[in-house]
Structure 1
Amino acid sequence: MTETQTTDGRVPDTAHVSFPDGRYGRRRQPAKRRPALTAALTAGVVVAGVAAAWLLMESYGQDEVSERLLAYDDSVAGQVAVTFEVYKPAGEGAVCAVRSRDLAGAEIGYAEVEVPADDSTRVEMTYVLPVEGDANTGEVLRCWQAD
């Protein structure tokens, strides 16, 4: 005897089985598919994501001016020599914020250094920053295009 047979050898007809109402919950009808709505919503989300990425890139994206700290020398009391390089458009000037902090992290020196406009795109500078206290660091915070 197989599992689909009854004890008397008959095969039950399961296509017309009806369950008592309310006993097993109600049967759900399959949801209607709406491919046009799904495609429209997907396209809307993609367009919104691209617009948000573009706006954020415009606001916070890479500037045309960038900087890199090469070295600092705090061996002389009352000053820190900060050596850094600036990448900028040729023929344009830049301004860089340079600072120094002490061992506790307090800012003890700050200056905005002007990078002259010339035909080079990379400029290496050393700026001697006067400080008030014992310097522990020399930093280039950021550089921006001069007005």
Structure 2
Amino acid sequence: MTETHATITPGAPAFPPGRYGRRREPGRRRPLLVWLLAAALVAGLALVTAQLYARYGDPAYDAEVITYADLTDTGVRVDFRVTLPEGGAAVCVLRARSHDGAEVGRDEVAVSARPGARHATAQHRITTTARPFIGEVVRCRPAG
């Protein structure tokens, strides 16, 4: 039996019989399988993220600038406070920037807390190549 205008729904393509093989029925959707695969992917990515953060993140080392002062053409003094693990030590990177934002000085400073203390306050003078506008702590990481 061939397809005629009476057997074809309007807008559906008419294919010559036997020319393109057997037409497939629409596939059955499996939404549960898709959701399970998506959940497994999210769980795997969360596990990898947690492991990388535990290995490379420094959540225990936090620094804040108390003040920067003594701005001269050759340097700036930065007073800062570091939160460390109890009795720990850190190396902090300090930098000075000029008014246009260019970095004009950078130093690394070792900071250690007293036994039983979680905070250390330090003061350091950064030598600069031009007049600084601001002194700041870029980051702190574990010493060693």
- TM, length-normalised to structure 2: 0.70
Task: Write out aligned runs for 1:1-147 (5 A).
Answer: 20-21=7-8, 23-25=10-12, 31-34=27-30, 37-58=33-54, 61-119=57-115, 120-147=117-144
Structure-1 separation of matches of 2:118 and 2:110: 15
How far off its partner does 1:32 sit?
Answer: 2.5
Which of the two has higher C-alpha Rg? 1
- Partner Cα distance (1:135, 1:43) in 2: 51
Q: What one-letter code is carried by the residue in structure 2 that aligns with 1:109?
A: G
Output the CA distance in 2 between the equivalents of 1:41 and 1:93: 44
Contact 1:101 1:109 in 2 (8 A): yes
* Sequence identity (%): 30
Q: TM-score, normalised by structure 1?
A: 0.69
Structure 2: where are the runs of 5+ without partners?
1-5, 14-23
Name the aligned partner's letter for residue 125 of structure 1.
A
Q: CA RMSD in A?
A: 3.0
Contact 1:81/1:138 (8 A) holds in 2: yes
Secondary structure of the 2:43 match is helix
Partners of 1:132 and 1:24 lie apart in 2 by 76
Q: What is the aligned residue count?
A: 130
Note the alpha carbon deviations across 1:4-33, whole angstroms, 9 max, x for none. Answer: xxxxxxxxxxxxxxx52264427x956424
Q: Which has the higher strand share?
A: 2
